[in-house]
Amino acid sequence: MVDKGVCVEIELARHDWAGLRSFADSTALPDAIRALVGATDKESARSAYWCIDNVALLDGCLTQSAAAVTSTVVQALSRLSTPSLAYALELLAQISGGYVHEPAEQGLGPISVEECVREISLTFPFLCELLETSSNSQIRASCVDLITACGRYERALKERARHVLSSALELPEMQSHRELIVNSLRDLE
């Protein structure tokens, strides 16, 4: 079996972290991502999440580094522990629901929500599987948000996202997320 830390190293190396604009020192992001990927408990995962969040996005405002964070976290999703996966998906949900300070070319760097969601959409089948099979409420809620974002920004996934979310409403274990799903379906109309 491949070490889960190895699966992100190639993607980490693809980015010029020092050259990416962010709210703080973006060179801290690779270690924070490694910490998130390697976390096996909730506290470690939460700590890594906040290290990333406070640099790449703040209160939903995306920076240039958010795109690199997105592609790297997406690369590792299938190999994460449950606590790490819950925070990784929450991070991606925050990014997919974020906004860009205008003009994007100044200050926080060129970035778009669409660019980030394009990377997230590569995991669409995995998100659908997690929505149906995970027993973790935080994971399920993030999957609803991410499936919705994929449907909103990726035209080819809109009908599929609607079908998945409509079908999820029929699952007894999804009743605690009913309001979130109904609101998400409205967003996809």
Q: What pLDDT does residue 110 have? A: 86
Kindly report the length of the chain.
Answer: 189
- Cβ(91)–Cβ(52) below 8 Å: yes
pLDDT tens-digit readout, 40-86: 999 999 999 999 999 999 889 999 999 999 999 999 999 999 999 99
Distance in angstroms (rounded) separating the CA atoms of residues 128 and 165: 9
- Give this prediction's pTM: 0.93
Give residue 116's pLDDT band: very low, low, confident or very high (50, 70, 90).
very high
Domain ranges of the chain: 1-110, 112-188
Q: How far is CA 140 from CA 36, 123, 135, 161, in A?
A: 19, 14, 8, 14
Q: What pLDDT does residue 106 have? A: 60
**Residue of 99, 106, 31, 105 whose CA lies nearest to 66:** 99
pLDDT tens-digit readout, 125-177: 999 999 999 999 999 999 999 999 999 999 999 999 999 999 999 999 899 99
Q: What pLDDT does residue 108 have? A: 82
Mean pLDDT value across residues 173-185 = 95
Q: What pLDDT does residue 1 have? A: 37
Q: What pLDDT does residue 3 have? A: 53
pLDDT tens-digit readout, 5-22: 557 899 999 999 999 999
Q: What pLDDT does residue 103 have? A: 65
